[in-house]
């Protein structure tokens, strides 16, 4: 957070007595950006959070989300290079955070989620994303099917990941303006979303398990897109 969005950090609470290299780097970043640093006991830190804090807590302003208008402007701006990731029904904060991190690495211009079936930018999401929640815009839309249709009208192709698809992700041309749609584990992409896709694609699975974790599958698909676009 100090590296990607230091303006959102209001104060840091750091475990008293820690002087290791990782903490020293945080101290320097905080000083560089004028962020107040407060020493605290382990109990003080434990009382502030319900998860592992690793000796440091940042008090921050809430993360920013965007709307459909922002998404369509981004589509127009990036044209044939546009790349968007849609997560349909992914409600686990660890999965959303990991998907944001992969999206950042693959150069995705925005991650899109439905307002009524997503976890949003929670502290867990931002922690797992390791800064990607600040670098990759998160767009929340009311009607996902309608949004996909508008992106298609603007020139994007929509590719949905589905285990029952007949073709592999590697057999589809992914070099143009693209929307990759990933669904939640188990249920997959919702039926209405599935019908809106131009193509359905799958990953080859050689083992006994029928599917990958959604964040792992997202990473594999995104970097196949990267591979094709490098060519």
**Domains 6-60 and 65-230 equal at CATH topology level:** no
Distance CA 18, CA 39 (A): 10
Distance CA 34, CA 111 (A): 31
183 is in an annotated binding site: yes
Distance CA 127, CA 1 (A): 9
DSSP H or E segment with residue 226 = helix 214-230
Least confident stretch, 8-17, 116-125, 152-161, 209-218:
116-125
Describe the chain by its helix, strand, coil percentages, rounded to 5. 45, 25, 35
| Residue ranges of domains in the chain | 6-60, 65-230
Res. 203: pLDDT tops 80: yes
DSSP state of 34: T
DSSP state of 194: H
This prediction's pTM:
0.87
What are the residues whose beta carbons fall under 8 Å from the beta carbon of 17, sequence distance 6 or more? none
pLDDT value, residue 144 = 95
Res. 210: pLDDT tops 80: no
Q: Give pLDDT tens digits for 51-108.
A: 778 889 998 888 888 999 999 999 999 999 999 999 998 989 999 999 999 999 999 9
Distance CA 217, CA 226 (A): 14
- Residue 87, classed as helix, strand or coil, is strand
Average pLDDT over residues 209-215: 81
pLDDT value, residue 198 = 97
Q: Give pLDDT tens digits for 135-185.
A: 899 999 999 999 999 999 999 999 999 988 999 999 999 999 999 999 987
212 is in an annotated binding site: yes
Identify the bridge partners of residue 57 per DSSP, sorted by sequence position: 13
203 is in an annotated binding site: yes
**Which top CATH class is 6-60?**
alpha beta
DSSP H or E segment with residue 60 = strand 56-60
Res. 208: pLDDT tops 80: no
Rounded (10°) CA dihedral 82, 198, 201, 86? 50
Q: Which of the four pLDDT bands, split at 50, 70 and 90, describes residue 129? A: confident
Q: What CATH superfamily classification does 65-230 receive?
A: SPOUT methyltransferase, trefoil knot domain (3.40.1280.10)
């Amino acid at each position: 957070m100090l590296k990607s969005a230091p303006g959102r950090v209001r104060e840091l609470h750091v475990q008293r007595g820690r002087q290791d290299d990782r903490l020293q780097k945080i101290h320097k970043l905080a000083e560089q950006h004028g962020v107040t640093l407060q020493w605290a006991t382990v109990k003080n830190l434990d009382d502030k959070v319900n998860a592992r804090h690793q000796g440091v807590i940042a008090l921050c302003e809430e993360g920013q989300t965007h709307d459909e208008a922002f998404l369509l402007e981004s589509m127009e701006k990036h044209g044939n290079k546009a790349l968007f990731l849609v997560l349909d029904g992914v409600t686990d904060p660890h999965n959303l955070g990991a998907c944001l991190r992969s999206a950042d690495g693959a150069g995705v211009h925005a991650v899109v989620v439905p307002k009524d079936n997503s976890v949003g930018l929670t502290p867990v999401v931002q922690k797992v994303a390791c800064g990607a929640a600040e670098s990759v815009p998160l767009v929340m839309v009311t009607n996902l099917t309608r949004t996909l249709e508008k992106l298609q009208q603007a020139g994007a192709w929509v590719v949905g990941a589905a285990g029952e698809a007949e073709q592999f992700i590697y057999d589809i041309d992914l070099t143009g303006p693209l929307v990759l749609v990933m669904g939640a584990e188990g249920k997959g992409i919702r039926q209405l979303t599935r019908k809106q896709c131009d193509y359905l694609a799958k990953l080859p699975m050689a083992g006994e398990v029928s599917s990958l974790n959604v964040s792992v599958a997202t990473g594999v698909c995104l970097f196949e897109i990267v591979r094709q676009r490098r060519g």
